[in-house]
Amino acid sequence: MLAAVSIVTFRWILIPIRAEGISMLPTYESGTLHLVNRLSFASRPPARGDVVAIMLAGPHVLYVKRVVGLPGERIAIVHGQVHVNGHLLVEPYVRNRRPWDVDEVTLSPHEYFVIGDNRGMSAADHDFGRVELSKIAGKVVF
C-alpha cells in the first residue's frame, strides 16, 4: 500500500527533479534536488514570480523557469530589465544582469513569458520566451 502511494505521489503529483545548468542561479544551483507539484495549477493559473517546470516532449526532461509575463501582457527586455506593459518589473531574485534586449511581444490568451533568474549569462546561452500553458507541468515547490 505504501509503495503504491509512493508511486502515485512521485509519478503523478510530486515529481522529483535535479537542476542541471546555471540558468536559475542563484535561486537553484546545478545538481540540487527539487520537487514539482503537478497539482499546483489545478485550481489557479500560474502567477508572476512562480517558478515552474516546463515539459519538452514529455515529463522526463523539464525546463525550470520563472514566470514574468501573464497571458495578454506585453513583455519586453530593455538593457536586461524586464518590462511588463511598459512598466519596469522589480525582480529581487536577480543578482547579475547583462544588457539583454528583446523586442516587445504580446502574449496570447494561453501564453506565459518565462525566464531563468541568471541574467548574468549570455542571452544566446539562455533559453527563455513564450510558452503555452499546456506545456507547464507544475510549480517547483522545494
Give me the residues that bind other proteins (CB under 8 A), please.
20-21, 54-61, 63, 65, 114, 127-131, 135
Q: Which of 100, 87, 8 is nearest to 48 (CA)?
A: 87
CB 29 within 8 A of CB 19: yes
Q: Of 43 and 103, which CB lies nearer to other proteins in the complex structure? A: 103
- Whole-number minimum distance, CB 75 to other proteins, in Å? 12
Which residue(s) pair with 34 in the sheet?
A: 17
Q: Of 45 and 59, which CB lies nearer to other proteins in the complex structure? A: 59
- Whole-number minimum distance, CB 97 to other proteins, in Å? 19
Q: Which of 23, 105, 108 is nearest to 62 (CA)?
A: 23
Q: Of 43 and 113, which CB lies nearer to other proteins in the complex structure? A: 113
Residue of 43, 65, 108, 122 with catalytic role: 65
DSSP at 90: P
Phi (first) and psi of residue 13, to 5 degrees: -115, -60
Active site residue 65: yes
CB 72 within 8 A of CB 54: no
Residue of 6, 23, 43, 108 with catalytic role: 23
Active site residue 135: no
- Whole-number minimum distance, CB 19 to other proteins, in Å? 11
